[in-house]
Structure 1
Amino acid sequence: MIAELLPISPDDREKILALNNLFAAELSYLDEARLDHLLAQAFLALKVGDVEALLLTFDQDADYDSPNFLWFKQRYPRFVYVDRVVTDERARGRGHARRLYQHLFEMAHEAGHTVIACEVNSEPPNPASDAFHAALGFRAVGGSAIHGGKKTVRYFVKNIG
């Protein structure tokens, strides 16, 4: 049985925070206030089933202070930025992340977007994310050291136009 893709609702807050914060090193820690702000700014905020996975994205008009988002905002006039995508360890291997991305590509295209943007940690490394994004057709367009040099990332885009 395939779990349904659903919009994230306020009732999901506790489960979203728990899943996100299990992977805070890769995604960045969220508290309730920050999550509420991000959800209010989101282009697309989806969950799979009962929060087996989640996707949070923003377009270029979002009020968002992430250095990664701002990097794209300085270089691309119009885009959708994937801020976080994560699958619960117990739900891995079911294609949730791929389904979330495919839905994002469709929604972004319908809204007139042609560029999907994201970043992947290079330090600490995230080889699974590298492979996943490469398989979806993302290409590297830059990189940066963030948070005082404690973390380095590579920036990727996929053209969907």
Structure 2
Amino acid sequence: MALAIRDVREHDLDAVLALNNAAGRTILALDAAQLRYFYEHADYFRVAEIDGHLAGFLIAMREGSNYESPNYCWFSTHYPQFVYIDRIVIANAYRRHGLGRIFYCDVNSYAEVRVPLLTCEVFLEPRDDVVVLFHGTYGFQEVGQQRMGESGPQVSLLAKDLPSYAYVRETYLDHGGLPDVPWLAERPRPFNDDSPQRRLAGERHS
């Protein structure tokens, strides 16, 4: 079995949309325009490909984006810097085989050299104890709860401290930026992202 975790490509979007909307009640449905927004704006948008088949994906956003998710907005009002995991979806055929942990290791590696906090939420209605346990064993702690809209589900808002960030900031980010190597690069996007954190990143590399 050949597994690859890579940045999403435009030709993946139809398969990503179908996978998202077949995932069940704990993943909010998307339309093509919403998925296009993620393609153009998400800081982290990677897919898992197994033997040429799309097996899953994870989308995450940094602070400073014009993203109206109520959970993203909650973190924006409480923390100045973070990476927010908006969604992770694994195809039915590849669930319970550790692919979620592989994604979380990968997004953790992305986040810990950029921000002090990795965040997400889990649905409490319906509650999935496997999902709650997964996040607890991966170091997330509850930092709040809220209801998504007047009639939406109750969610638990989770955060994980990234202790490596302090070293990276003091050693690299405060002294010219991250090394110019492929595994530290931001993913390419089809437009000029002028968000504050990316302007700062550009200044650090100049």
TM-score past 0.5 threshold: yes
Structure 1 residue 91 corresponds to structure 2 residue 94: yes
Partner AA of 2:127 in structure 1: P
Quick one: which of 154, 157, 176 aligns to 1:155?
157
Q: CA deviation at 1:124?
A: 1.6
Work out whether residues 38 and 64 of structure 1, in 8 Å CA contact, stay in contact via their aligned partners in 2. no
Q: Give the TM-score normalised by the residue count of structure 2.
A: 0.75
Q: Which runs of 5+ in 1 are unaligned?
A: none
Q: Which residue is equivalent to 1:81?
A: 84
Q: CA RMSD in A?
A: 1.2
Q: Give the TM-score normalised by the residue count of structure 1.
A: 0.94
Distance 2:117 2:17 in 1: 28
Q: CA deviation at 1:25?
A: 2.0
Distance 1:65 1:126 in 2: 25
Q: Structure 1 2/160 Cα, relative in aligned 2: closer, same or farther at 3 Å?
A: farther
Partner AA of 1:29 in structure 2: A
Partner AA of 2:158 in structure 1: F
Q: Which residue is equivalent to 2:121?
A: 119
Q: Which residue is equivalent to 1:10?
A: 10
Distance 1:98 1:8 in 2: 19
Distance 2:98 2:117 in 1: 22
Work out whether residues 46 and 55 of structure 1, in 8 Å CA contact, stay in contact via their aligned partners in 2. yes
Q: CA deviation at 1:2?
A: 4.4
Distance 1:23 1:124 in 2: 14
Work out whether residues 142 and 154 of structure 1, in 8 Å CA contact, stay in contact via their aligned partners in 2. yes
Distance 1:2 1:82 in 2: 25
Q: Which residue is equivalent to 1:133?
A: 135
Q: CA deviation at 1:108?
A: 1.1
Runs of 4+ in structure 1 over 3 Å off: none
Q: Structure 1 43/76 Cα, relative in aligned 2: closer, same or farther at 3 Å?
A: same
Structure 1 residue 103 corresponds to structure 2 residue 106: yes
Q: CA deviation at 1:152?
A: 0.7
Work out whether residues 6 and 46 of structure 1, in 8 Å CA contact, stay in contact via their aligned partners in 2. yes
CA distances 1:71-114 after superposition (whole Å, capped 9, x unpaired): 0000000000000011111001221111111111111122x211
For the residue of structure 2 that corresponds to 1:48, the secondary structure is strand
Q: CA deviation at 1:9?
A: 1.1
Q: Structure 1 140/2 Cα, relative in aligned 2: closer, same or farther at 3 Å?
A: farther
Distance 1:53 1:90 in 2: 10
Distance 1:87 1:46 in 2: 12
Q: CA deviation at 1:130?
A: 0.5
Residue correspondences, number: 160
CA distances 1:112-140 after superposition (whole Å, capped 9, x unpaired): 21100000000121222101111111000
